[in-house]
Structure 1
Amino acid sequence: MAQYTQLTFIDYDELIDYIDDENVDEVREMFVQFGLTIDTLLFDSPLYNSSGDELFTYLDYIIANSLIKLINYCIDETFIVLDDKFFHRCVQIGALDVYEHVREVYPTFYPAEQTFCEAIKQCNSSIAAELLAISPQLIHYIDDSVIEYLFSFDIDEETLETVRVLFNYNVNPVLFNRYLSYLHHPEGNYFKIDEDDKDLVIELIDILETNCVVASQL
């Protein structure tokens, strides 16, 4: 049975420095020395990225900081699984450059429903459209919890584009009924609508009503 050295906080600081510098050789050596894997929890887990997302594992840290050399090391040498969970995590913590790099270099690995739903939640219409073009059936994974998250942020152009993408692939319009009602009756303060956003709100209402969400039935 392999004997590993106990990781101390001093060792951990050194390892993080090597990771930040993308020193693959030193990272590999320290992982072996301390019996670490990319799925091992960070010594002071969780850390936070600039958007406030929690980072739990070494892989989270590498993804969040867009350390492409180490991403390639993880794929080529530690054989991480490029599955829906991996791509979902990239989208969830905003590591879109990592997502795009891996999709380009390893095109035979496809994101699936978790990644798609996360793209909708994050109002990333380009990823949503890309995945729906590959697998139109993903639209059936959209439920009220996804739409609720989508509308939990300020309405902007990307919100509108994401909604358009969903209707282009025949999302169930019933999912939008209560949000159309909120938009027509904003006094409930579900949506915080600034004066500068009123044109966007009018456009969103038009999109919803055009796609068979009927305000008169609300």
Structure 2
Amino acid sequence: MSERTQKFSEQLDRLIADGYKLQMAIQHECNPVEFEERLNEIFKEDKAKVKEYLKELPDFKGEYQTWYSEAQAVIKQVLPDRLSDFISYYEYPRVRKDISFKNYMVRDYLQGLQITRYDGNVTVSGRAAIPEFVQQLNIVEAAKGTLESALMDLKAVLQADLFDSEIDTASALAKAGYLRAAGAICGVVIEKHLDHVRDTHKIKIAKKNPGISDLAQLLRSSNVIRAGCELSDSDSHEG
């Protein structure tokens, strides 16, 4: 496993561990009595251990957004085909005629949304967000499985390692005063990387031989990368 892949693997391990803590936290917040009864069974009525366990649970509403942002970024790189599914469990549909257990999302829970009938009975509570979060956690675990399986994108890993080598070469050339040659190598690396990102996200391009500016503009318009400094093919290749 390359160093780059190892870093992704470690980050996913941490996200999964934090995800399980958040899952326990939201279950406790929504079902405190049942949850603590179960803990008493597990810890054999040891009140000190139960108290310590509850004390270490994170605040779901306070810590979920950080977890969500980090998990979303990793999934975008490791399992891009599932990114829209991951987001869908957080975002509620733009158009909802009513709110039910089926379309209640994690975002609703964070906002404290609860649906109550005219007689005061709660029809949809925060408990409806639990299965939505569980599905998000399942996708993060699937990303971990994909990273470790033989079906992972070995091309991306090998390409990244090759790019590191080429950048080291460019750096050596630049130090020796060969700025044009160093710039040309960096331009090729950037172009290959942008084209790989395009291919990973299955974005088609009409131009037969696209350059850096073509690829960057395409990825920006597809919301894959953020708008930033402009790159021109001539600038990057000339150094």
Tell me the TM-score normalized by structure 2. 0.24
Computing the radius of gyration over CA atoms, which structure comes out larger, 1 or 2?
2
Q: Which has the higher contact order (CA 8 A, sep 6+)?
A: 2
Tell me the TM-score normalized by structure 1. 0.26
